[in-house]
Amino acid sequence: MSRVRLRLLLAAGLLASAGTAAAAPATVDAVARERMTEYLVDMFPIHRIFAQLMEKDPKALETELDGKQRACFSQQVARPAFVARKRRAVDAYADQAPDEFQAALKLLDEGAGDTMKELGGFSIDNALAGEGQGFDPSSMPPDRLVSFMTFAYGSQYRRLRELSGYGEFTDQDEDQPSASDAQLAAMATEISDACGIPPKFFE
């Protein structure tokens, strides 16, 4: 066999392999997407802040919103609606960056998810109670502390932090809204659009 023919056969084999690899991109199954969604909902359950508006002063709401708006608002701040909104973001993440998604889910499964759920519940409870007490990560067991630090500062988990609502743990420009503020604003806009509630209601 001539060298030219051998090179052509090798080239054809490489092209065929490349074509096969391109035809089978990484995918994320429904179970993984659901697990990621549940993590993110419980890691930073901001819907509870909106739900508190319904419970704190229902009579005041009656003067600002009509019956249809109140019913819609109540539905939009319930957990199922929040889960559905978060799932749409999770699906976009899984479709756009499946390998990164799987690595992020693995980190959450290894302990970061439970740690951030604890932190999220603590933060929301304090916010609703009007308290400013901080969360002390030094009280965590060593393995959970490692997973927390990896989640908080690992450059490969930047999108996960943004999606969770925590954003960056390093010092941020005070003129820029935090990730949690951005998610609260986005949720307020969605509720306003869905229920016909004036944006000033959420100010």
How far is C-alpha 175 from the chain's CA centre? 23
Domain spans of the chain? 29-202
Res 160: pLDDT: 95
Res 39: pLDDT: 95
Q: Which of 125, 169, 170, 116 is nearest to 145 (CA)?
A: 116
Mean pLDDT of 15-19: 44
Q: Which residues of 103-141 are buried (b: 16+ CB within 10 A; e: fewer)?
A: ebbebbeebbbbbbbbbbeebbeeeeeeeeeeeeeeebe
Residue with tokens 């549940």: 38
pLDDT surpasses 90 at 6: no
Choose between 49 and 40: higher pLDDT.
40
How far is C-alpha 156 from the chain's CA centre? 15
Model-level pTM?
Answer: 0.74
Q: Give CB contacts under 8 A, 24+ apart, made by 3-6.
A: none
Res 202: pLDDT: 81
Phi and psi at residue 132, in whole multiples of 5°? -115, 15
